[in-house]
Amino acid sequence: MNGVRISGLGSAKPENLVSNTDLSKFVDTSDEWITTRTGIKSRYISSGETAVELAVDAAKVAISDANVNPSEIDLIIVATISPDQMMPSTACCVQSIIGAKNATAFDISAACSGFVFASKIAVDAIRIGSAKKALVIGAEILSKSIDWTDRNTCVLFGDGAGAVIYEKSDVNKIINIYTGSDGTLGQVLTLDHTPINNCLVTTDLSTSYLKMDGREVYKFATSVVPLCINKVLEGTDYSLSSIKKFILHQANERILNSVAKKLGIDDKLLFKNLFEYGNTSAASIPIALDDAKSSLCKGDIIILAGFGGGLTWGSILFEW
Ligand code: UT7
Protein backbone atom coordinates (compact mmCIF):
# COMPACT_ATOMS: atom_id res chain seq x y z
CA MET A 1 0.00 0.00 0.00
CA ASN A 2 1.28 3.47 -0.85
CA GLY A 3 1.73 6.23 1.69
CA VAL A 4 -0.23 9.46 1.17
CA ARG A 5 0.40 13.05 2.24
CA ILE A 6 -1.15 16.48 1.78
CA SER A 7 1.11 18.56 -0.45
CA GLY A 8 -0.97 21.65 -1.19
CA LEU A 9 -3.84 23.74 0.15
CA GLY A 10 -5.88 26.59 -1.26
CA SER A 11 -9.16 28.40 -0.78
CA ALA A 12 -11.30 31.04 -2.42
CA LYS A 13 -14.28 33.15 -1.46
CA PRO A 14 -16.67 35.57 -3.13
CA GLU A 15 -15.87 39.26 -2.93
CA ASN A 16 -18.94 40.31 -0.92
CA LEU A 17 -18.91 39.99 2.85
CA VAL A 18 -22.41 40.22 4.35
CA SER A 19 -22.59 41.05 8.06
CA ASN A 20 -25.27 40.05 10.54
CA THR A 21 -26.37 43.69 10.62
CA ASP A 22 -26.74 43.66 6.81
CA LEU A 23 -29.04 40.61 7.12
CA SER A 24 -31.11 42.22 9.86
CA LYS A 25 -32.15 44.88 7.32
CA PHE A 26 -34.28 42.40 5.35
CA VAL A 27 -35.05 39.52 7.72
CA ASP A 28 -36.33 39.60 11.31
CA THR A 29 -33.05 38.86 13.10
CA SER A 30 -30.25 40.65 14.94
CA ASP A 31 -26.49 40.54 15.27
CA GLU A 32 -27.04 39.70 18.95
CA TRP A 33 -29.21 36.61 18.21
CA ILE A 34 -26.93 35.27 15.46
CA THR A 35 -23.75 35.85 17.48
CA THR A 36 -24.99 34.28 20.71
CA ARG A 37 -26.72 31.28 19.05
CA THR A 38 -24.09 30.52 16.40
CA GLY A 39 -20.91 32.60 16.77
CA ILE A 40 -21.28 33.72 13.14
CA LYS A 41 -20.61 37.42 12.47
CA SER A 42 -20.49 37.47 8.65
CA ARG A 43 -20.46 35.27 5.55
CA TYR A 44 -19.25 35.66 1.96
CA ILE A 45 -22.15 35.65 -0.52
CA SER A 46 -21.80 35.33 -4.27
CA SER A 47 -22.76 38.36 -6.32
CA GLY A 48 -22.10 36.35 -9.47
CA GLU A 49 -19.13 34.12 -8.66
CA THR A 50 -19.96 30.52 -9.59
CA ALA A 51 -19.06 27.24 -7.90
CA VAL A 52 -16.71 26.45 -10.79
CA GLU A 53 -14.95 29.82 -10.52
CA LEU A 54 -14.37 29.47 -6.78
CA ALA A 55 -13.30 25.82 -7.18
CA VAL A 56 -10.81 26.82 -9.90
CA ASP A 57 -9.41 29.70 -7.81
CA ALA A 58 -8.94 27.40 -4.79
CA ALA A 59 -7.45 24.65 -6.98
CA LYS A 60 -4.91 27.01 -8.58
CA VAL A 61 -3.64 28.08 -5.16
CA ALA A 62 -3.39 24.43 -3.99
CA ILE A 63 -1.61 23.38 -7.19
CA SER A 64 0.92 26.17 -6.83
CA ASP A 65 1.34 25.38 -3.10
CA ALA A 66 2.04 21.72 -3.99
CA ASN A 67 4.31 22.78 -6.86
CA VAL A 68 2.72 20.27 -9.22
CA ASN A 69 1.94 20.59 -12.90
CA PRO A 70 -1.82 20.23 -13.62
CA SER A 71 -0.99 17.46 -16.12
CA GLU A 72 0.38 15.36 -13.23
CA ILE A 73 -3.02 15.35 -11.47
CA ASP A 74 -4.76 12.06 -12.25
CA LEU A 75 -7.89 12.43 -10.09
CA ILE A 76 -10.18 15.41 -9.40
CA ILE A 77 -13.12 15.06 -7.03
CA VAL A 78 -15.38 17.98 -6.19
CA ALA A 79 -17.70 17.67 -3.20
CA THR A 80 -20.69 19.94 -3.67
CA ILE A 81 -24.43 20.14 -3.12
CA SER A 82 -24.73 23.41 -5.04
CA PRO A 83 -23.15 22.80 -8.46
CA ASP A 84 -23.69 25.36 -11.22
CA GLN A 85 -25.27 22.55 -13.25
CA MET A 86 -25.60 18.78 -12.99
CA MET A 87 -23.72 18.13 -16.21
CA PRO A 88 -20.90 18.60 -16.95
CA SER A 89 -19.79 18.06 -13.37
CA THR A 90 -17.99 20.81 -11.45
CA ALA A 91 -14.90 18.57 -11.44
CA CYS A 92 -14.92 18.26 -15.26
CA CYS A 93 -15.27 22.06 -15.60
CA VAL A 94 -12.32 22.54 -13.22
CA GLN A 95 -10.30 19.94 -15.14
CA SER A 96 -10.88 21.79 -18.40
CA ILE A 97 -9.98 25.24 -17.01
CA ILE A 98 -6.81 24.20 -15.14
CA GLY A 99 -5.65 21.91 -17.97
CA ALA A 100 -5.49 18.70 -15.92
CA LYS A 101 -5.85 16.66 -19.08
CA ASN A 102 -4.78 13.36 -17.50
CA ALA A 103 -7.30 13.40 -14.67
CA THR A 104 -10.46 11.42 -14.12
CA ALA A 105 -12.93 13.99 -12.77
CA PHE A 106 -16.29 13.69 -11.01
CA ASP A 107 -18.45 15.24 -8.29
CA ILE A 108 -19.78 13.67 -5.12
CA SER A 109 -22.70 14.67 -2.90
CA ALA A 110 -22.36 14.20 0.85
CA ALA A 111 -23.35 17.69 2.03
CA CYS A 112 -21.10 19.13 4.75
CA SER A 113 -19.25 15.78 5.06
CA GLY A 114 -18.49 15.89 1.33
CA PHE A 115 -14.86 16.93 1.68
CA VAL A 116 -14.12 14.04 4.05
CA PHE A 117 -15.91 11.53 1.79
CA ALA A 118 -14.10 12.83 -1.32
CA SER A 119 -10.79 12.70 0.54
CA LYS A 120 -11.44 9.07 1.46
CA ILE A 121 -12.00 8.13 -2.19
CA ALA A 122 -8.86 10.02 -3.27
CA VAL A 123 -6.64 8.66 -0.49
CA ASP A 124 -7.85 5.08 -1.10
CA ALA A 125 -7.15 5.50 -4.83
CA ILE A 126 -3.59 6.64 -4.11
CA ARG A 127 -3.08 3.85 -1.55
CA ILE A 128 -4.00 1.13 -4.04
CA GLY A 129 -2.02 2.74 -6.86
CA SER A 130 -4.83 3.87 -9.15
CA ALA A 131 -3.85 7.54 -8.69
CA LYS A 132 -0.68 9.41 -7.71
CA LYS A 133 -1.81 13.01 -7.34
CA ALA A 134 -5.39 13.88 -6.51
CA LEU A 135 -7.10 17.26 -6.29
CA VAL A 136 -10.01 17.27 -3.82
CA ILE A 137 -12.22 20.36 -3.67
CA GLY A 138 -15.21 21.37 -1.56
CA ALA A 139 -17.10 24.13 -3.40
CA GLU A 140 -20.48 25.63 -2.58
CA ILE A 141 -22.74 28.47 -3.65
CA LEU A 142 -25.43 27.54 -1.17
CA SER A 143 -26.75 31.12 -1.15
CA LYS A 144 -28.77 30.30 -4.28
CA SER A 145 -30.61 27.51 -2.43
CA ILE A 146 -31.47 29.48 0.67
CA ASP A 147 -34.87 30.98 1.36
CA TRP A 148 -33.76 34.51 2.21
CA THR A 149 -37.02 35.10 4.10
CA ASP A 150 -36.39 32.14 6.45
CA ARG A 151 -34.43 33.43 9.43
CA ASN A 152 -33.95 29.87 10.73
CA THR A 153 -31.57 29.07 7.88
CA CYS A 154 -30.51 32.19 5.95
CA VAL A 155 -28.27 33.51 8.71
CA LEU A 156 -26.19 30.32 8.88
CA PHE A 157 -24.70 29.68 5.46
CA GLY A 158 -22.04 31.20 3.22
CA ASP A 159 -20.32 30.54 -0.12
CA GLY A 160 -16.72 29.46 -0.77
CA ALA A 161 -14.32 26.76 -1.90
CA GLY A 162 -11.32 24.94 -0.46
CA ALA A 163 -8.89 22.61 -2.22
CA VAL A 164 -6.34 20.01 -1.16
CA ILE A 165 -3.73 18.10 -3.17
CA TYR A 166 -3.12 14.56 -1.89
CA GLU A 167 -0.14 12.73 -3.28
CA LYS A 168 1.71 9.46 -3.06
CA SER A 169 4.46 9.62 -0.46
CA ASP A 170 7.24 7.38 0.82
CA VAL A 171 6.24 8.36 4.34
CA ASN A 172 2.53 7.95 5.09
CA LYS A 173 0.95 11.03 6.68
CA ILE A 174 -2.76 10.26 6.31
CA ILE A 175 -3.16 7.98 9.30
CA ASN A 176 -6.85 7.11 9.18
CA ILE A 177 -10.17 8.18 7.69
CA TYR A 178 -13.57 7.29 9.12
CA THR A 179 -16.94 7.88 7.44
CA GLY A 180 -20.57 6.97 8.08
CA SER A 181 -24.14 7.69 6.97
CA ASP A 182 -27.70 7.22 8.21
CA GLY A 183 -30.26 7.79 5.46
CA THR A 184 -33.15 7.11 7.83
CA LEU A 185 -32.53 10.56 9.38
CA GLY A 186 -32.28 12.35 6.02
CA GLN A 187 -35.42 14.45 6.36
CA VAL A 188 -33.99 16.71 9.10
CA LEU A 189 -31.82 18.52 6.52
CA THR A 190 -32.95 18.64 2.89
CA LEU A 191 -32.26 20.64 -0.25
CA ASP A 192 -33.97 20.79 -3.65
CA HIS A 193 -36.13 17.94 -4.69
CA THR A 194 -36.47 17.16 -8.38
CA PRO A 195 -39.98 15.73 -8.71
CA ILE A 196 -40.82 13.42 -11.58
CA ASN A 197 -42.06 15.59 -14.42
CA ASN A 198 -42.17 13.76 -17.71
CA CYS A 199 -44.41 12.63 -20.57
CA LEU A 200 -46.56 10.73 -18.06
CA VAL A 201 -46.60 13.00 -15.00
CA THR A 202 -46.99 16.78 -14.65
CA THR A 203 -45.69 18.23 -11.39
CA ASP A 204 -45.41 21.64 -9.80
CA LEU A 205 -41.79 22.61 -10.40
CA SER A 206 -41.71 25.60 -8.07
CA THR A 207 -38.33 26.28 -6.49
CA SER A 208 -37.51 24.49 -3.27
CA TYR A 209 -35.01 25.59 -0.69
CA LEU A 210 -32.74 24.18 1.98
CA LYS A 211 -34.88 23.10 4.92
CA MET A 212 -33.61 22.18 8.33
CA ASP A 213 -34.83 21.03 11.71
CA GLY A 214 -32.14 22.99 13.53
CA ARG A 215 -32.60 21.39 16.95
CA GLU A 216 -32.43 17.85 15.54
CA VAL A 217 -29.33 18.68 13.51
CA TYR A 218 -27.78 20.26 16.60
CA LYS A 219 -28.43 17.11 18.67
CA PHE A 220 -27.04 14.92 15.90
CA ALA A 221 -23.93 17.09 15.47
CA THR A 222 -23.04 17.23 19.14
CA SER A 223 -23.22 13.43 19.44
CA VAL A 224 -21.73 12.39 16.09
CA VAL A 225 -18.66 14.66 16.04
CA PRO A 226 -17.21 13.26 19.31
CA LEU A 227 -17.95 9.78 17.94
CA CYS A 228 -16.13 10.62 14.67
CA ILE A 229 -13.13 11.83 16.63
CA ASN A 230 -12.95 8.74 18.83
CA LYS A 231 -13.53 6.39 15.86
CA VAL A 232 -10.75 7.85 13.73
CA LEU A 233 -8.30 7.36 16.61
CA GLU A 234 -9.35 3.73 17.16
CA GLY A 235 -6.70 1.19 16.23
CA THR A 236 -4.03 3.89 15.73
CA ASP A 237 -1.03 4.81 17.89
CA TYR A 238 -2.67 8.14 18.76
CA SER A 239 -5.06 9.36 21.45
CA LEU A 240 -6.91 12.63 22.09
CA SER A 241 -3.87 13.96 23.93
CA SER A 242 -1.74 13.57 20.75
CA ILE A 243 -3.90 16.02 18.79
CA LYS A 244 -2.48 19.52 18.26
CA LYS A 245 -5.50 20.95 16.43
CA PHE A 246 -9.11 19.91 15.80
CA ILE A 247 -10.36 21.43 12.55
CA LEU A 248 -14.09 20.69 12.55
CA HIS A 249 -16.96 21.60 10.24
CA GLN A 250 -17.67 25.26 10.95
CA ALA A 251 -21.44 25.18 11.47
CA ASN A 252 -21.99 26.68 14.91
CA GLU A 253 -19.58 27.75 17.65
CA ARG A 254 -21.87 26.19 20.27
CA ILE A 255 -21.54 22.82 18.50
CA LEU A 256 -17.73 23.17 18.50
CA ASN A 257 -17.62 24.10 22.19
CA SER A 258 -19.98 21.27 23.12
CA VAL A 259 -17.74 18.79 21.26
CA ALA A 260 -14.71 20.07 23.20
CA LYS A 261 -16.59 19.73 26.47
CA LYS A 262 -17.81 16.20 25.70
CA LEU A 263 -14.29 15.09 24.77
CA GLY A 264 -12.72 16.91 27.72
CA ILE A 265 -10.31 18.79 25.48
CA ASP A 266 -9.19 22.40 25.76
CA ASP A 267 -11.35 24.46 23.41
CA LYS A 268 -8.19 26.42 22.45
CA LEU A 269 -7.33 23.32 20.37
CA LEU A 270 -10.36 23.98 18.17
CA PHE A 271 -9.73 25.98 15.03
CA LYS A 272 -12.51 28.49 14.35
CA ASN A 273 -13.18 30.72 11.36
CA LEU A 274 -16.97 30.53 11.30
CA PHE A 275 -17.14 34.09 12.68
CA GLU A 276 -16.06 35.24 9.21
CA TYR A 277 -17.40 32.54 6.83
CA GLY A 278 -20.53 31.03 8.38
CA ASN A 279 -21.27 27.46 7.33
CA THR A 280 -19.89 26.81 3.82
CA SER A 281 -20.97 23.14 3.79
CA ALA A 282 -18.51 20.94 1.84
CA ALA A 283 -16.08 23.87 1.56
CA SER A 284 -15.94 24.48 5.30
CA ILE A 285 -13.24 21.98 6.32
CA PRO A 286 -10.78 22.66 3.47
CA ILE A 287 -11.19 26.44 3.89
CA ALA A 288 -10.59 26.05 7.65
CA LEU A 289 -7.54 23.87 7.00
CA ASP A 290 -6.14 26.46 4.59
CA ASP A 291 -6.78 29.25 7.10
CA ALA A 292 -5.25 27.18 9.94
CA LYS A 293 -2.07 26.20 8.11
CA SER A 294 0.02 29.13 9.33
CA SER A 295 -0.59 27.95 12.91
CA LEU A 296 0.43 24.32 12.23
CA CYS A 297 3.94 22.95 12.76
CA LYS A 298 5.56 20.11 10.86
CA GLY A 299 4.76 16.83 12.62
CA ASP A 300 1.57 18.11 14.30
CA ILE A 301 -1.16 15.46 14.52
CA ILE A 302 -4.47 16.95 13.33
CA ILE A 303 -8.07 15.78 13.22
CA LEU A 304 -10.60 17.04 10.67
CA ALA A 305 -14.23 16.11 11.27
CA GLY A 306 -17.54 16.95 9.61
CA PHE A 307 -21.23 16.15 9.71
CA GLY A 308 -24.17 17.07 7.54
CA GLY A 309 -27.12 16.24 5.37
CA GLY A 310 -27.79 12.66 4.47
CA LEU A 311 -27.20 12.34 7.34
CA THR A 312 -23.47 11.87 6.94
CA TRP A 313 -20.34 12.20 9.06
CA GLY A 314 -16.62 11.61 8.81
CA SER A 315 -13.15 12.38 10.12
CA ILE A 316 -9.52 12.39 9.01
CA LEU A 317 -6.47 11.83 11.25
CA PHE A 318 -3.24 13.06 9.68
CA GLU A 319 0.24 14.34 10.33
CA TRP A 320 1.04 17.81 9.02
O1 UT7 B 1 -24.02 21.82 8.29
C2 UT7 B 1 -25.05 21.39 9.13
C3 UT7 B 1 -26.10 22.44 9.12
N4 UT7 B 1 -26.81 22.81 10.23
C5 UT7 B 1 -26.42 22.99 11.52
O6 UT7 B 1 -25.35 22.72 11.98
C7 UT7 B 1 -27.48 23.58 12.41
C8 UT7 B 1 -27.55 22.97 13.77
N9 UT7 B 1 -28.49 23.73 14.59
C10 UT7 B 1 -28.19 24.92 15.11
O11 UT7 B 1 -27.08 25.41 14.93
C12 UT7 B 1 -29.22 25.64 15.95
O13 UT7 B 1 -30.31 24.76 16.19
C14 UT7 B 1 -29.73 26.95 15.28
C15 UT7 B 1 -28.64 28.01 15.29
C16 UT7 B 1 -30.18 26.69 13.86
C17 UT7 B 1 -30.92 27.51 16.05
O18 UT7 B 1 -30.56 27.74 17.40
P19 UT7 B 1 -31.50 27.23 18.58
O20 UT7 B 1 -30.89 27.68 19.84
O21 UT7 B 1 -31.71 25.75 18.37
O22 UT7 B 1 -32.81 28.05 18.30
P23 UT7 B 1 -34.27 27.52 18.00
O24 UT7 B 1 -34.38 26.93 16.64
O25 UT7 B 1 -34.70 26.68 19.18
O26 UT7 B 1 -35.10 28.87 18.02
C27 UT7 B 1 -35.20 29.65 19.19
C28 UT7 B 1 -35.96 30.92 18.86
C29 UT7 B 1 -37.25 30.66 18.09
O30 UT7 B 1 -38.21 31.59 18.55
P31 UT7 B 1 -39.38 31.12 19.55
O32 UT7 B 1 -40.12 30.03 18.82
O33 UT7 B 1 -38.66 30.61 20.78
O34 UT7 B 1 -40.15 32.36 19.77
C35 UT7 B 1 -36.89 31.00 16.67
O36 UT7 B 1 -38.00 31.42 15.90
O37 UT7 B 1 -35.16 31.75 18.01
C38 UT7 B 1 -35.93 32.14 16.88
N39 UT7 B 1 -35.02 32.31 15.75
C40 UT7 B 1 -34.44 33.50 15.46
N41 UT7 B 1 -34.52 34.69 16.03
C42 UT7 B 1 -33.79 35.69 15.51
C43 UT7 B 1 -34.59 31.39 14.87
N44 UT7 B 1 -33.73 31.94 13.98
C45 UT7 B 1 -33.63 33.24 14.33
C46 UT7 B 1 -32.89 34.33 13.83
N47 UT7 B 1 -32.98 35.52 14.43
N48 UT7 B 1 -32.06 34.19 12.76
Residue 18 pLDDT class (50, 70, 90 cuts): very high
The pLDDT assigned to 258 comes to: 97
**Could you tell me how far CA 108 lies from the centroid of its own chain?**
12
Question: What's this model's pTM, rounded to 2 decimal places?
Answer: 0.97
The active-site residue out of 20, 92, 93, 112 is 112
Q: Is 112 one of the annotated active-site residues of the chain?
A: yes
Q: What is the mean pLDDT of residues 118-147?
A: 97
Q: What is the pLDDT of residue 192?
A: 78
- Catalytic residue flag (residue 279): yes
pLDDT in tens, 183-231: 999 999 999 777 888 899 888 877 789 999 999 999 999 999 999 999 9
pLDDT digits (tens, 9 = 90+) for 46-75: 999 999 999 999 999 999 999 999 999 999
Q: What is the mean pLDDT of residues 133-157?
A: 96
Rounded CA-CA distance 91/55 in Å is 9
Q: How confident is the model at residue 117 (pLDDT cuts 50, 70, 90)?
A: very high
Sheet holding 133-140, edge to edge: 3-12, 160-169, 133-140, 75-79, 104-108
Pairing of strands 189-190, 211-212: antiparallel
Q: Is the CB of 211 under 6 A from ligand 1?
A: no
- How confident is residue 157, by pLDDT bands cut at 50, 70 and 90? very high
| Sign for the pseudo-dihedral over CA of 116, 45, 55, 195 | positive
Residue 293 is predicted with a pLDDT of 96
The whole-angstrom separation of Cα 271 and Cα 293 is: 10
Q: Would residue 16 show up in a list of annotated catalytic residues for this protein? A: no
Q: Average pLDDT in the 148-168 region?
A: 97
Q: Could you read off the pLDDT of 271-300 as tens digits, one per residue?
A: 999 999 999 999 999 999 999 999 999 999
Q: What percent of the chain has pLDDT over 70?
A: 100
Q: How many CB atoms lie within 10 A of CB 292?
A: 18
What's the chain's average pLDDT?
96
Collapsed DSSP state (helix, strand, coil) of residue 29: coil
CA-based Rg of the chain, rounded to a whole angstrom? 19
Q: Of 253, 250, 245, 251, which Cα lies nearest the Cα of 229?
A: 245
- Ligand 1 center to 186 CA (angstroms): 19
Q: Where is average pLDDT lowest: 98-102, 207-211, 239-243, 262-266? A: 207-211
**243-248 and 301-308 strand pairing:** parallel
- Res 196: pLDDT: 85
Question: Residue whose CA is closest, atom 6 of ligand 1?
Answer: 251
Cα(315) to ligand 1 centroid in Å equals 26
Q: Which atom of ligand 1 is nearest to the CA of 151?
A: 48
Write phi, then psi, for 303 (nearest 5 degrees): -120, 130
